[in-house]
Amino acid sequence: MNKLPPLNALRIFEAVARLQSFTKAAETLYLTQSAVSHQVRNLEEHFGFPLLVRSQRGITLTPEGATLQHCLRDALQQIDDTCLQLSQRQHSIRIKSPPSIAVRWLVPKLQQFRAQFPDLDINVSTVWDEKPAFDWGLFDLAIQYGEGDWPGVTVELLHRETLTPVAAPALLAGKTRLTMAELADYPLIHTSRDRHDWELWLGTPWPKGQKELLFDADVMGIEAARHGLGVALLDPFIVQDALADGSLVTPCERTVPSGKGYFLVLPPHERHIRRIQPLVQWLQQAV
């Protein structure tokens, strides 16, 4: 790496170039005009060519000076933006979450959290990734679906997934219970293309000729079931409201664990964990 010029001289030159005046730059930086001139000369000696031309009408940037000013302006703005973001992070927590649990469980409960912690802002980003990447520069806490075996992070169980069929009452036409054989009369809704969940619940390979609807997200499968398009295999945890208001019912008694769950994934930095601990505890209690 090439030797950088003195950073203080760069800061002073940027002020002179922006204000087009040694005097105004000195006043802005609370320095003497001679000190400002001295730092600019030191910077020109470092580069070996002039950065500005002095005249009775003021100063004019040389092409090299204009290039340096443009670079410094962008760099200082980026530094200022980053510092602002870092200062604001003391009062905000950024959560990464799969869409299903964010939309169906987390968001409806956030009002309770805001009532308990009114000075803390929560920012939620929904991301679905089968192979999760934990970029702690983009978020402070993750709710992650899977088996919980991610290295290099702190993992705490939030909810262990269980699966049971759910359907709209209108689809069942008055029936309150369905046998496994009767399920063959209804389209079965998938929220993943491998049909793994239904095969797990049925205990057999996918039945030949079975009517089906495929979606690539739980939230779509939930809405399809609510609109009577078929029977979905879901975790009652993420359709609590629909089961409570009767827009979805559970027509089969059989419930099976999927072997997966929703986990709180925390950064491997103790100081950051302390900052988000109130939210972590609240999430665990909310479950």
Give dist(CA 62, CA 17) in Å, integer.
10
The confidence score (pLDDT) of residue 89 equals 56
Q: Round the average pLDDT of the chain to a whole number and report it.
A: 87
**Contacts made by residues 47-56, CB under 8 angstroms, sequence distance 24+:** 47/5, 51/13, 51/17, 52/16, 52/17
84 pLDDT above the threshold of 70: no
How does residue 262 score in pLDDT terms, banded at 50, 70 and 90?
very high
Kindly state the average pLDDT of the residues 272-282: 80
If DSSP codes are grouped into helix, strand and coil, which group holds residue 167? strand
What tens digit of pLDDT does each residue of 156-201 get?
Answer: 999 999 999 999 999 999 888 998 889 889 999 998 777 788 999 9
The confidence score (pLDDT) of residue 169 equals 96
97 Cβ contact list (under 8 Å, min separation 6): 106, 124, 125, 126, 127, 142, 143
28 pLDDT above the threshold of 70: yes
How does residue 260 score in pLDDT terms, banded at 50, 70 and 90?
very high
91 pLDDT above the threshold of 70: no
- Ranking 61-75, 85-99, 193-207, 215-229 by mean pLDDT, the lowest is 85-99
The closest alpha carbon to 233, from 246, 243, 218, 247, belongs to 218
Give dist(CA 273, CA 155) in Å, integer.
12
Domains assigned to the chain? 7-88 (1.10.10.10), 91-160+261-286 (3.40.190.10), 162-258 (3.40.190.10)
State how far the alpha carbon of 281 is from the alpha carbons of 121, 220, 250, in Å.
16, 30, 31
Q: Are the CB atoms for 121 and 113 separated by under 8 Å?
A: no
* Chain position carrying tokens 């997966």: 260
What tens digit of pLDDT does each residue of 39-58 get?
Answer: 999 999 998 999 998 887 77
The closest alpha carbon to 122, from 11, 286, 249, 9, belongs to 286
Q: Are the CB atoms for 80 and 72 separated by under 8 Å?
A: no
The confidence score (pLDDT) of residue 96 equals 92
Six-digit token string for 37: 């001139």
